Structure 1
Amino acid sequence: MSGLLSITLHHSFIIGRRSKFPCHGHSYVLGTNGAGKTSALNLIPIFYGKDPASLMVQAADKKNFSDYYLPNEQSMIVFEYQRGDGAVCCSVMYRKPQGQYAYRFVEGAADDTLFHPDMEAHYERGESANDILRQPLPDSGVNVSNQINSVMDYRSIIQNDPQSSGRRRRRNSTPFSRGNEARRFSLGDGMGGCSTSRQ
Structure 2
Amino acid sequence: ASAGDLLTANTSGNVGIGTITPAQKLDVNGYIKGSGLCIGTDCKTAWNQVVVVPVATASTTCITPNYCITPVTDIIYNLAAVPNTLRSQNTPGTTNESNVICLSVNYCIVAATNKIYLLDAATNAIRSQNTSGTVGKSKIICLSTNYCVSTGTDIIYTLDAVTNILRSQPAPGVSATSPFTCSTVNYCVILGTNKTYVYDAQVNTLRSQNTPGT
TM normalised by structure 2 equals 0.26
Q: Which has the higher contact order (CA 8 A, sep 6+)?
A: 1
- Larger helix fraction of residues: 1
Higher-Rg structure is: 2
More strand by share: 2
